[in-house]
Amino acid sequence: MNLTWTNPPRILKYSGGDFVIGQTSLAAVTQQINDLAQSNADLLALSTKTAREIATVPRPPGGGGGGGSGGYGNSTSCMTDDEKKVIGYFGEAIAFALLKAKFGRNRVVDYGCWKSEYRVHACGEKGEDWLGYDFEIQSGRATWFFEVKATSIADPGDLGLIELGSTEIAKAEVCRAESRSHYRILRVTHALRLERATLTVLPNPRSDEGLKFYTEQKTAGVRLHFRM
């Protein structure tokens, strides 16, 4: 007798139910994410001012090594790539809902502002992941670029860690002068528990403010430690 072993599908629990990897589509939960984010009064009331506390994080030992969480946060160390993508999408969808709520009254904030590849799940239009940012918003003569980093848990204590790739660092460098081009990192925590989700606006890591805010650890990409 031949026995065939099949692994049960992996499931991520979120505020709206179960996301079954390989079965539930990101497009299918997009409106639900938006509705849940819009119902989180604390999230919508968050300040969009850039965090400016000075980081006094001890520099990690070493400085090399690979691995890491790909910018999704410490909660993904045992997750598959597909699960990380789900958390990443939830983070960007939450950020989009907040950007619309905060800036949409006086500026154009629509799907055209959503630039990453995740956009296809939200509106059917393809995006690009090599730009170094996820959202682009025009405000008068200024252009704001936002890169989203999401985690399914909260940062431990008052310490945080994000990881940036080469295209993200390159874009941050271009905007370091903070004249008409501004680069910000949107740190989303509790991305799957939308009633608890929070978003913090972090400075450009290559600006003068960012150089004070982060402690940098160079790996395959760049890891930025910060204290809130």
* Structure tokens, 28: 């299918």
Model confidence at 220: pLDDT above 90: no
Residue 36 confidence (pLDDT): 96
- The more confident residue out of 73 and 21 is 21
| Position 62 in a domain | no
β-strands 214-218, 222-227 pairing: antiparallel
Residue 56 reports pLDDT greater than 80: no
Q: What is the pLDDT of residues 85-129, one digit of tens each?
A: 999 999 999 999 999 998 887 888 999 999 999 999 999 999 999
The rounded distance, in Å, linking the Cα atoms of 130 and 195 is 31
Contacts of 100-107 with CB under 8 Å at 24 or more apart are 101/38, 101/44, 102/44, 102/48, 103/48, 103/137, 103/139, 107/137, 107/138, 107/139
Domain of residue 182 covers 11-49+71-227
Of 44-58, 111-125, 149-163, the range with the lowest mean pLDDT is 44-58
Mean pLDDT for 79-89 is 94
Please check the confidence at residue 195 and state whether its pLDDT lies above 60: yes
User: Is 57 a member of any domain?
Assistant: no
In a domain, 196, yes or no: yes
Q: Which of 72-76, 143-147, 170-174 has the lowest mean pLDDT?
A: 72-76
How high does pLDDT run on average in the chain?
85
- Contact at 8 Å (CB) between 95 and 146? yes
Number of domains comprising the chain? 1
In a domain, 204, yes or no: yes
Specify if 66 maps to a domain: no
Instruction: State residue 1's pLDDT score.
Output: 57
Rg (CA), the chain: 18
pLDDT of residue 2: 64
- Residue 77 pLDDT: 58
pLDDT at residue 157 in the model:
64
Query: Residue 216: pLDDT above 60?
Result: yes
pLDDT surpasses 60 at 135: yes
pLDDT at 71: 38
159 has pLDDT over 80: no
Q: How far apart are the first and last CA of the chain?
A: 60
Per-residue DSSP letters for the chain? ------PPPPEEEETTEEEETTTS-HHHHHHHHHHHHHT-HHHHTS--SPP-PPP-PPPPS--------TTS-GGGTT--HHHHHHHHHHHHHHHHHHHHHHHTTTS--SGGGB-STTHHHHHS----SSSS-SEEEEETTEEEEEEEEE-SSPPSTTEEEEEE-HHHHHHHHHTTT-SSEEEEEEEEESTT-TTT-EEEEE--TTSHHHHHHEEEEESSSEEEEEE-
More confident residue, 155 or 20: 20
Higher pLDDT, 98 or 7: 98
**pLDDT bucket at 79, cuts 50 / 70 / 90:** confident
Q: Is residue 36 part of a domain?
A: yes
In a domain, 75, yes or no: yes
Mean per-residue pLDDT, 52-79: 45
Torsions phi, psi for 217 (to 5 deg)? -120, 115
pTM: predicted TM-score of the whole model, two decimal places = 0.85
Question: Residue 216 falls within a domain, yes or no?
Answer: yes
Q: What are phi and psi of 28, to 5 degrees?
A: -70, -25
